[in-house]
Amino acid sequence: SQKIEQNSEALNIQEGKTATLTCNYTNYSPAYLQWYRQDPGRGPVFLLLIRENEKEKRKERLKVTFDTTLKQSLFHITASQPADSATYLCALGDQAGTALIFGKGTTLSVSS
Amino acid sequence: GAVVSQHPSWVICKSGTSVKIECRSLDFQATTMFWYRQFPKQSLMLMATSNEGSKATYEQGVEKDKFLINHASLTLSTLTVTSAHPEDSSFYICSGVGDRISYNEQFFGPGTRLTVL
């Protein structure tokens, strides 16, 4: 069956450093991969989408890479700030407008 | 980005009662809405897919007679938890996709915390 793993349940870093989160998947060939931010008691907020034919996407301090051979995506937050502290979810999709398959998330804590 | 609202944001009910949760797309027409459930420290699990004007499609293991979904308009979908029990206590989240949104993006509501006593 399809499986998504976000390798760290929790990640603690210091302010100003780059946070790198990992998402690995098996038994799946997604057409695209998305990253979401979720704060406690709130719904996920869309951050970035990367398609299977794209290697890298950037948005301000965020960068996502997608390696379909390794079946892995890396999510980077550069110059991290305490306000970046949240849970980050990786989600996979195979068709436009279909439901997503989510990982459990990695909780990032950025200390000042 | 597009906005999805949910009401109520939290609800506490007695075992055996029914609870209705509303999901509204505020600035776009949601041709499809998804209902997810999230237990503490777990991932979002898809419960059902709802297309406007047609019956919802439920995921394996989700009782369609217990979790009633109605998607009567392009801006409103409802989830009714019938005869709720404590094991139904969870965080319920909806998302929508529609005509104004890039076809792969989903926008999520803020979630509804259900606690069944």
Range B27-47 average pLDDT: 91
At A92 the three-state DSSP class reads strand
Q: How many CB atoms lie within 10 A of CB A57?
A: 16
CA A12 to chain centre: 16
Asked whether the beta carbons of A95 and A101 are under 8 A apart, the reply is no
Name the average pLDDT for chain B. Answer: 91
Q: Do A4 and B43 touch (CB under 8 A)?
A: yes
Q: Do B102 and A49 touch (CB under 8 A)?
A: yes
Contacts of B97 in chain A (CB under 8 A): 97
Q: Report CA torsion sign: B8, B29, A33, B67.
A: positive
A40 Cβ under 8 Å from any chain B Cβ: no
B41 Cβ under 8 Å from any chain A Cβ: yes
Distance CA B72, CA B96 (A): 14
**pLDDT score for B102:** 61
Percent of all residues in chain B with a pLDDT value above 90, rounded to a whole number: 71
Range A87-107 average pLDDT: 88
B8 Cβ under 8 Å from any chain A Cβ: no
**pLDDT score for B101:** 58
| pLDDT tens profile A30-62 | 888 999 999 999 999 999 999 999 999 999 999
Confidence class of residue B37 from pLDDT cuts 50, 70 and 90? very high
Q: How many domains does chain A have?
A: 1
Range B21-49 average pLDDT: 92
Domain ranges, residue A65: 3-111
- Give the CATH number, domain containing residue A27: 2.60.40.10
Contacts of B30 in chain A (CB under 8 A): none
Q: How many CB atoms lie within 10 A of CB B58?
A: 19
Q: Do A42 and B111 touch (CB under 8 A)?
A: yes
Contacts of B28 in chain A (CB under 8 A): none
Q: What is the dihedral of CA A101, A103, A104, A110, to 10 degrees?
A: -130
